[in-house]
Structure 1
């Protein structure tokens, strides 16, 4: 799940675009087949694989993954510039590095790591395994039958991802001109990435050298720090992550700084309100609610029941998190659907009236972007034929992977997916909020109710993945088309890059998942890799199958309260003056620490504090360096995860256990 992304103002974006265009106008843009290079593909594979491992780790620990589009563009720039300089030192002259090639690499990397984020490895796919089945109550919960278990497997996971993700590439191809040019949707994340890429290729080497140095320093520090920490983690409860920063009592309630550079870097990329919302959720849950509910053990829930049972305190954690997620998701779903319908209707009515004046008002640079975007068109038949053929294959093959998900459910999903994908892509273009996970939940509840108690849980989670993957990939493609439109990159090159990245993600993501799955205790609520969304999605499916009978005593009333709280916060955010509304907490961000604790929220707030102080001391330098420094922190420790996993698989344990005990 990706939360929080800040974009530049409209005036800054236009100024950067004009600066970039002044240099580019004197050059001829290369044809699409020359925008994709061998070195670009190599860079895409390497960076995409690293980002997949990083995203997988974040998925399986906290479930929160920042938007790494800007980091992908930055690393692509650093990689190719370094490549060219190394070749120059050996006397080999290499082709110039263009912003089109930079865009192609960024597109491929984003497509690759987005499979790790949205492929369900930390949510609906992991929610099918035996451990999550037991954590959600086992056979004592109605509808949670032994037949509703499907253990992870590289083969079926890879096949399922290829089927559902590639369909998403073909859904909106016929509508790309309407969304990007006719409706002029902004796609803020795509636009911000384009501004960064244009800036890289117009400001010269001075800025690039500073960013490269900043990235290398923090990358090296983060990698070596991860290596150093490893020596003190001989057992599960050992290491620097056990340091009782605020005292031992606070640590029992998960309030401590765990020295994770990954979360500090993530906090630097996420907006301040996201990080503060996480901290608020941690204080409200582990600081107040769970200690109070724990005191009524034996009254609200049995005292002798296992801690991981849904009838114990764990049930309140899971279902209140779900209530916050559903309240926030429902509000934004209705809001964005309403905005989409109103905008489409108004544009449809005014299209004939305004079409004559549009071309007169357009700037020369805008016309040039539109001309390049339309010139190398993607045939409409390619989208239609690709979607129909892959849909037919999916209708036949997916029921073999998930016998519980009948072929007619898959067929209905593919009939409705294009309209849902359009609504989501339009909403992302307007608001930068991706609602694919909410469309997935709609599919989950619908199929759960229709499949019955015996097979409903597995069928519901598989349907969730089917809907979410198609809609998510389609919206990511449109966002990258916007980046390509602003950097004068051919849509054909963009589509091919997206397809390459998607294929790479469908192969790399299951492999990186199994690296963690075999090396660590994934899904353990007391361990590092809690995978919080796995149990959330399984319980969503159980609720869809049997209703609210799975809830412990008084939990339903608390869920109603937090569901209403999520809607009220969103209403306040939209109705209050902007200077007040921007400080309203985000319920989705608040929900995660309700389940897993506050330690990572403290790390991310440290990242926010670093950015805040840096901006106070030197705002211009901070704006330039924060993406590079944050990327270094994330990538360094993220890359250390790879050798740490290999060491764990080889049964090589660290030599020291560092623990803290009361005096």
Structure 2
């Protein structure tokens, strides 16, 4: 039978073990740290299920006995760390940017992350049978992860040498480690030692100062990996956004608004006397205005996501209710491979969460006079929006995969809708104008975390369905992964903020290049703007128009059945980010496309995804290590300041990584 799992329901292999529990929690924290770094840098996150599965297979080989079901449990917990990191970094840095928090406070962050993550698991448990067993949605990452796990064999036992992993499993783990070593070494040589440059940039004026050019390239192996994983379509759109915001927007803005930009940049002398630094300041001021086009496009893209997801949402809710009725009808006849956490326990999880939710919102509202009933409203909004968007995320994960799941879009919509509701209830006078946006970001953090975990949970359950896992055990391991990542993420963000700065200059290392944190910056601007702090609308309106054009193009491509689409959020992120970040992403996407044409989609993806994931993980984890060094040794990291050959050597390092990916994938 085509739908028969690899391990039959009647067979009981070791699954929920102490070593799987500890290894899953450890990898969840590690992958959360890596994804936090890369997500803050470029505003995109990638699924960690495949590298988690390969790492699990490699590490479990060190033990006398292991099974494919143990491997599956480890990757279930580990991939939760990557997903939860996305939910947190897209939202909570806004609280530090708006100075609501002095730093990354461990207690509130852990509470928000755990509540959002656990509710994301709970809301999707009733969807498992409906979407995976009955609807048979694609769940691409879940299927790919199951294929990786199958290469390791069903059981390994050193007392029975014939039970051993395949050569492909050993090679996959080795490739992942090798690529991680390369990514980490290049990051150490760049950010730690200063031997390699992290990027090259140029700003020039042409035609007697009438045309202003600025451009840059970030020399990052991790961004090559991101481009390889997201593919040519998304990589092209991100690059297109960079071209619109920088190569087109900056000179056009200078030509039309030169006097205003000179005033903003603090350049007052005659043009003939302007230095290279003056032109760089002018280009920077022009780009800061143009990036707001990306804000406008993200706003429309987020709302469009809700409109297009209305039908899938309704189908998801119906499927959930149907699954519950089926579980009641078939009580007592449940196979091991169909046994979820019982619905009464799921309801208890949700009910118990109401108390900490209420007190968390109460804390966010500070001394506001009507905080008690506003906290109750926020709690209801969390439960309603959480269920709605977790259902959407679970359904969309089945259609397009976790990496393409529009969780930032639904979070943008959450911020706008909840801010407008609170504005009507609280007004914006006095404390309300300050505390209202803070409460909105608390809600957004939990909604985004719930949606991210919901998509990941469904992918993992699809993988488990294929290999023959026990669903309730996977759901428990998903919660374990959430808890481990929630404990690690605040510490990681604090280190990154002090070492590099997140969306702002570092308070202790001001010379470092800050991590962009584009979504968090947008959440801050939207929440404070709606409550009356003011938003610069001119460029946002241009972003609205750009989004409408992209939506029309996307609908045309959809009707044509074309594989190349125009999702708004990918272009919007490209506009908002520095151009240099999108260049290596584009190169990685081109390479992935070339490899698929040359070697076939399955073969290129199987090898290339592990190598790309290794480059990302290695650079990201070394980035955290270098941040610790920068905080511990202020002024001494990087060791070589202004090394003359660094740009050339950095360029050579990026070319080497491009060659390595092309050669080995």
Question: Would you say 1:111 and 2:80 are equivalent positions?
Answer: yes
TM-score w.r.t. length of structure 2: 0.79
Equivalent-residue separation in structure 1 for 2:82 and 2:189 (angstroms) = 27
The 1:330–1:204 alpha-carbon spacing in structure 2 relative to 1, beyond 3 Å, is same
Aligned twin of 1:551 = 536
- SS at the partner of 2:47? coil
Correspondences of 1:37-56 after superposition (within 5 Å): 37-56=17-36
Aligned twin of 1:569 = 553
Equivalent-residue separation in structure 1 for 2:117 and 2:317 (angstroms) = 27
Correspondences of 1:111-130 after superposition (within 5 Å): 111-119=80-88, 121=89, 123-129=90-96
Q: Which runs of 5+ in 2 are unaligned?
A: 155-163, 207-211, 267-279, 506-511, 648-665
Aligned twin of 1:408 = 376
Correspondences of 1:484-503 after superposition (within 5 Å): 484-503=464-483
The 1:457–1:481 alpha-carbon spacing in structure 2 relative to 1, beyond 3 Å, is same
1:509 to partner: Cα distance: 0.8
The 1:401–1:161 alpha-carbon spacing in structure 2 relative to 1, beyond 3 Å, is farther
1:528 to partner: Cα distance: 4.2
1:445 counterpart (416, 428, 432): 416
Higher mean alpha-carbon deviation, 42-51 vs 281-290, is at: 42-51
1:384 counterpart (329, 341, 347): 347
Per-residue displacement from partner, 1:535-581 (whole Å, max 9, x unpaired)? 2111111332249x6225x4354133113123213212312x22xx3
Aligned twin of 2:661 = none
Per-residue displacement from partner, 1:339-362 (whole Å, max 9, x unpaired)? 44368779999x99xx9xxx9xxx
Kept in 1: contact 2:152–2:169 (CA 8 A):
yes
Per-residue displacement from partner, 1:597-650 (whole Å, max 9, x unpaired)? 221222122223333444455447534311221122122222322331221121
Question: Would you say 1:540 and 2:540 are equivalent positions?
Answer: no
The 1:464–1:545 alpha-carbon spacing in structure 2 relative to 1, beyond 3 Å, is same
Aligned twin of 1:583 = 564
Correspondences of 1:1-80 after superposition (within 5 Å): 21=6, 24=7, 29-30=11-12, 34-80=14-60
Equivalent-residue separation in structure 2 for 1:510 and 1:622 (angstroms) = 36
1:102 to partner: Cα distance: 1.3
The 1:54–1:502 alpha-carbon spacing in structure 2 relative to 1, beyond 3 Å, is same
Equivalent-residue separation in structure 2 for 1:231 and 1:458 (angstroms) = 36
Question: Would you say 1:654 and 2:651 are equivalent positions?
Answer: no
Equivalent-residue separation in structure 2 for 1:348 and 1:41 (angstroms) = 32
- SS at the partner of 2:309? helix
The 1:412–1:377 alpha-carbon spacing in structure 2 relative to 1, beyond 3 Å, is closer
Correspondences of 1:178-577 after superposition (within 5 Å): 178-201=130-153, 204-230=165-191, 232-233=193-194, 239-243=196-200, 255-297=215-257, 303-304=263-264, 313=286, 316-341=289-314, 371-374=335-338, 376-403=339-366, 406-416=374-384, 417-432=386-401, 434-449=405-420, 450-451=422-423, 452-453=427-428, 454=433, 455-524=435-504, 527-546=513-532, 550-551=535-536, 554-575=538-559, 577=560
Equivalent-residue separation in structure 1 for 2:365 and 2:229 (angstroms) = 38
Equivalent-residue separation in structure 2 for 1:348 and 1:125 (angstroms) = 33
The 1:219–1:419 alpha-carbon spacing in structure 2 relative to 1, beyond 3 Å, is closer
Aligned twin of 2:622 = 640
Per-residue displacement from partner, 1:328-382 (whole Å, max 9, x unpaired)? 3333322222244368779999x99xx9xxx9xxxxxxxxx983332x3422210
1:320 to partner: Cα distance: 1.3
Kept in 2: contact 1:440–1:464 (CA 8 A):
yes
- SS at the partner of 2:621? helix
1:249 to partner: Cα distance: 8.0
Aligned twin of 1:153 = 105
Kept in 1: contact 2:296–2:541 (CA 8 A):
no
TM-score w.r.t. length of structure 1: 0.79
Equivalent-residue separation in structure 2 for 1:638 and 1:559 (angstroms) = 31
Question: Would you say 1:602 and 2:574 are equivalent positions?
Answer: no
Equivalent-residue separation in structure 2 for 1:437 and 1:279 (angstroms) = 19
- SS at the partner of 2:179? helix
Kept in 2: contact 1:333–1:435 (CA 8 A):
no
- SS at the partner of 1:295? helix
Higher mean alpha-carbon deviation, 440-449 vs 531-540, is at: 440-449
Equivalent-residue separation in structure 2 for 1:262 and 1:457 (angstroms) = 34
Equivalent-residue separation in structure 1 for 2:82 and 2:317 (angstroms) = 31
- SS at the partner of 2:619? helix
> What's the RMSD between the two structures over aligned residues?
3.6
2:70 counterpart (88, 101, 104): 101
1:388 to partner: Cα distance: 0.5
Per-residue displacement from partner, 1:282-303 (whole Å, max 9, x unpaired)? 1122111122102333566672
Equivalent-residue separation in structure 1 for 2:193 and 2:69 (angstroms) = 46
Higher mean alpha-carbon deviation, 174-183 vs 503-512, is at: 174-183
Per-residue displacement from partner, 1:396-450 (whole Å, max 9, x unpaired)? 3431244367312223214413344334423433443534433433332233222
Aligned twin of 1:366 = none
Aligned residues: 586
Q: Which runs of 5+ in 1 are unaligned?
A: 1-13, 85-93, 134-145, 360-368
Per-residue displacement from partner, 1:13-33 (whole Å, max 9, x unpaired)? x98x88x83xx45x95326xx
